[in-house]
């Protein structure tokens, strides 16, 4: 019985799917899910979490990828964002920015990174995202992604938007970037 019911369902799906499949009918954020997760929590350290990220920041970074101003992703984002149709950008930003924030990672000892974060005054901007357009949340973000962004800023591979000089804020060693990243990845999003 069960077998017959299952094959009936399969047969129905079979005809329905082939007749109705229309890729344009799927929401655009599903094309981002492969790398960033459907709800904006990525499962691979080099792909950033997008869930609950600030919408202005998301919009600005997508515009930078589209304009070819942000290229430190090795071209992966460019190949995706150039396919976006009018209206898609707003749709994906709305989707990801309104998801739950990602869960923080578990890190045994974050004290070195916490001290650096305070001493270097990172919180002056990154703890006040809602008051500062273009500043991202960096808590509960992938540590590997954060480390790479910090070295990309300090080497000049990534330029902040609007001529903002993030390079000079990150005059720290690779080990210190690592400690900062581990601390931030384990901090809950506030």
Applying CB under 6 A, the residues found at the interface with ligand HEC are 28, 31-32, 34-36, 47-48, 50, 58, 61-62, 72-73, 76-77, 80, 92, 120-122, 124-126, 134-136, 138, 146, 148-150, 160-161, 164, 166, 169-170, 180
Q: Closest approach of Cβ 171 to ligand HEC, in Å?
A: 9
Nearest-angstrom CA–CA distance, 23 and 148: 34
Cβ-based nearer residue to ligand HEC, 9 or 88: 88
Q: Supply 19's token pair.
A: 């007749």
Nearest-angstrom CA–CA distance, 190 and 104: 11
Q: Supply 27's token pair.
A: 């929401």
Cβ-based nearer residue to ligand HEC, 12 or 115: 115
Nearest-angstrom CA–CA distance, 155 and 20: 50
Cβ-based nearer residue to ligand HEC, 8 or 150: 150
Cβ-based nearer residue to ligand HEC, 9 or 122: 122
Q: Closest approach of Cβ 126 to ligand HEC, in Å?
A: 6
Answer positive or negative: Cα dihedral of 168, 174, 178, 183. negative
Q: Closest approach of Cβ 41 to ligand HEC, in Å?
A: 13
Q: Closest approach of Cβ 15 to ligand HEC, in Å?
A: 31
- In the DSSP assignment, the letter for residue 166 is -
Phi–psi pair at 98, nearest 5 degrees: -100, 5
């Amino acid at each position: 019985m069960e077998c017959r019911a299952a094959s009936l369902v399969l047969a129905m799906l079979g005809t329905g799917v082939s007749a109705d499949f229309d890729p344009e009918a799927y929401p655009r954020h599903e094309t981002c899910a492969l790398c960033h997760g459907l709800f904006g929590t990525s499962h691979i350290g080099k792909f950033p979490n997008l869930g609950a990220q600030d919408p202005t920041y998301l919009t600005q970074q997508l515009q930078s990828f589209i304009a070819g101003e942000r290229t430190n992703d090795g071209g992966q984002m460019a190949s995706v964002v150039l396919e976006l149709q009018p209206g898609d950008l707003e749709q994906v930003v709305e989707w990801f920015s309104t998801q739950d924030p990602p869960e923080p990672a578990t890190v045994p000892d974050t004290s070195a990174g916490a001290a650096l974060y305070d001493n270097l005054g990172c919180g002056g901007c990154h703890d006040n995202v809602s008051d500062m357009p273009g500043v991202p949340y960096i808590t509960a973000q992938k540590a590997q992604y954060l480390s790479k962004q910090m070295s990309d800023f300090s080497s000049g591979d990534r330029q902040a938007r609007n001529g903002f000089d993030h390079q000079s804020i990150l005059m720290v060693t690779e080990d210190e970037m690592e400690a900062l990243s581990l601390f931030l990845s384990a901090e809950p999003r506030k």
